[in-house]
Structure 1
Amino acid sequence: MKTSVVDWGLIPYSDSWNRQTEWFDALVHAKLDGKPYENRIVMCEHPHVYTLGRSGKENNMLLGEEQLKAIGATLYHIDRGGDITYHGPGQLVCYPIINLEDFGLGLKEYVHLLEEAVIRVCASYGITAGRLEKATGVWLDGDSPRARKICAIGVRSSHYVTMHGLALNVNTDLRYFSYINPCGFIDKGVTSLQKELGREVAMDEVKHRLQVEIQSLLDR
């Protein structure tokens, strides 16, 4: 099953949400009607934005409307699982819009696959990352007081078709996480490839590595 990769570059969150929804709805309808469709993996970055998932708690956003304006950020209530997260320049966002049944995957296995792809990308930079029980995403030193998150994951699915996806901190300005309780956690930190390596990392290189890992895991 061919999966195409699309790069939207730096795109406002609302534009990406509209495009995603359009492609998601089209894929669901085509699948139900037995018509041809395309599985796509979208890569992009967003200007400063906070997104609050269906099960998210409003009080995990620590700023009011005026304060949000002051830091040049916006807030969206969206239809994925999970709590609040931040997207911004220097963070690689990946939205696979795919029919999981084409790859023999259930939703839980799919989330595991996304985590695995990011764990492998981190390993390619010499960073040991892993999972944390009852906490979706990818973590460093997850079972220690130094636990810090490098990648958030939040997915929506209908008829085994997915949208939303993952956000990997590459050269992200981590100060923006201090204005929220990321994913609802108040006792855990966040990190980035740049912070862990002590140098800026080429975004195109990370995009390529992530794309390769996701596609090879899907093809299995």
Structure 2
Amino acid sequence: MASTADHSLTERPIEWRREAAQVPYRAALSEMEARNAAVAAGQADELVWLLEHPPVYTAGTSADKSELVDPRFEVIEAGRGGRYTYHGPGQRVGYLVLDLNKRGKDVRCFVHSIEGWVIDTLADFGVKAWRAEGRVGIWTQDIDGREAKIGAIGVRVRRWVTMHGFSVNLDPDLSHFGGIVPCGIDEFGVTSLSRLGLDVTQARWDEALIAHSQDFLDALDKSGRGACAT
């Protein structure tokens, strides 16, 4: 699969990989699991992998089949936490294979730090986003004035090395979310940067995300010192 890797984006031993072409979900999951094992064994660098998938529904470990409303695409058991989610063209996914043994063994702080990273990146495009108590993910005000999800988070930790990560809706077909109850929350809608009137390419999103990556990594380091941000 065509990709670019740049080890110079951060001083830390992390590989940053950015895919231009779509990566099938099963192939990404297999590669992520292999990288997780290699990082845990000290045989590979940590990884931040930015990509896009062909249309697919993925099921987390808490998925309820009653929330699979119209499975018009393949449904794959992901092994991550959470319930059903959708991935597809126009959605940028970030997979994080990071070693929490040296970054603080605190999954709650890890998720909190991811949320902050995405929120800060969205702010660069003029989008005010926030965390919501009791609802993992990234939320903003939709065009109808109601609260809606613009980014999802689902992680797995094995031997204190992380897998999976987050997704942000740049310009996906939002009707595809209608096949599931996204993340088990049916009282709120799903939105995207495009729906909010913003034209943000993969490249622009990636560059903005990378620009905030040091703050994200610093937040993880603080969690390792017992100082999880609130």
Kindly provide the CA deviation profile for residues 144-190 of structure 1, in whole angstroms up to 9, marking residues without a partner as x.
Answer: x8120000000000222000000100111111011111001111100
Aligned to 1:218: 217
SS of residue matched to 2:62:
coil
Please say if residues 28 and 161 of structure 1, whose CA atoms lie closer than 8 Å, have aligned partners that are also in contact: yes
Structure 1 counterpart of 2:68, which letter? M
Q: What is the TM-score when the length of structure 1 is the normalising length?
A: 0.88
Question: Does the CA contact (< 8 Å) of 1:96 and 1:163 recur in 2?
Answer: yes
Give the structure 1 partner of residue 100 of structure 2: 100
Matching of residue 17 in structure 1 with residue 16 in structure 2: no
Distance in 2 separating the partners of 1:28 and 1:59: 36
- Report the equivalent of 2:40: 28
Task: Verify the 8 A CA contact 1:103 1:219 in the aligned structure 2.
Answer: no
CA contact (8 A) 2:35 2:44 kept: no
Tell me which stretches of 4 or more aligned residues in structure 1 moved more than 6 Å: none
Task: Give the gaps of 5 or more residues in structure 2.
Answer: 1-11, 220-230
State whether structure 2 residue 83 is matched by structure 1 residue 83: yes
Q: Distance in 1 between matches of 2:17 and 2:84?
A: 26
Pick aligned residue for 1:63 from 67, 70, 80: 70
Bigger share in helix: 1
Task: Check the 8 A contact 1:106/1:160 in 2, yes or no.
Answer: no
Q: What's 1:111 paired with? A: 111
Separation in structure 2 between the aligned mates of residue 203 and residue 78 of structure 1, nearest angstrom: 24
Cα offset for 1:105? 5.3
Tell me whether 4-13 or 164-173 shows the greater mean CA deviation: 4-13
**Aligned residue number for residue 125 of structure 2:** 125
Q: Aligned equivalents of 1:163 and 1:107: distance in 2?
A: 12
Task: Work out the CA distance in 2 between the residues paired with 1:12 and 1:42.
Answer: 14
How many residues matched?
A: 206
Question: What CA distance in whole angstroms lies between the structure 1 residues aligned with 2:39 and 2:188?
Answer: 37
CA separation in 2, counterparts of 1:27 and 1:217?
Answer: 20
Q: Which moved more, 1:149-158 or 1:54-63?
A: 54-63
Paired position in structure 1 for 2:204: 205
